[in-house]
Amino acid sequence: MNFPAELKYTKDHEWIKIVDGNTALIGITDFAQRELGDIVYVDISTVGKALEAEAIFGTVEAVKTVSDLFLPVAGTVTEVNSALEKNPELVNNDPYGEGWMVKFELANTADLDGLLTAEAYAELVA
Partner 1 sequence: MKTTPFTQKHIALGAKMAEFAGYNMPISYSGINDEHAAVRSNAGVFDVSHMGEFILKGENALDLIQRVTSNDASKLTNGKAQYSTLPNNNGGLVDDLIVYCLEENKVYMLVVNASNIEKDWNWISSHNTGNAEMHNISDKTCLLAIQGPDACKILQPLTEVDILNLKYYTFAKGRFAGVDNVLISATGYTGSGGIEIYFEDKDDNATVIWDAIFEAGKASGIKPIGLGARDTLRLEMGYCLYGNDIDDSTSPLEAGLGWVTKLNKETAFSSKDIFAKQKAEGIKRKLVGFVMIDRGIPRHHYKIKDAAGNEIGYVTSGTQAPSLNKAIGLGYVTVENASIDSEIFIDIRNNPVKAKVVKFPFS
Quick check: 114 binds partner 1 (CB under 8 A)?
no
Q: Cα 106 to the chain's mean position, in Å? A: 14
DSSP for 54-105, please give it.
T-EEEEEEESS-EEEEE-SSSEEEEEE-THHHH-TTHHHH-TTTTT--EEEE
Rank residues 35 and 105 by Cβ distance to partner 1 and give the closer one: 35
- Minimum separation from the CB atom of position 8 to partner 1 (A): 26
Site string for partner 1, 27-66 (x = CB under 8 A): -------xx-xx-xx-x---------------x-x-xx-x
Interface residues with partner 1 (CB under 8 A) are 34-35, 37-38, 40-41, 43, 59, 61, 63-64, 66, 92
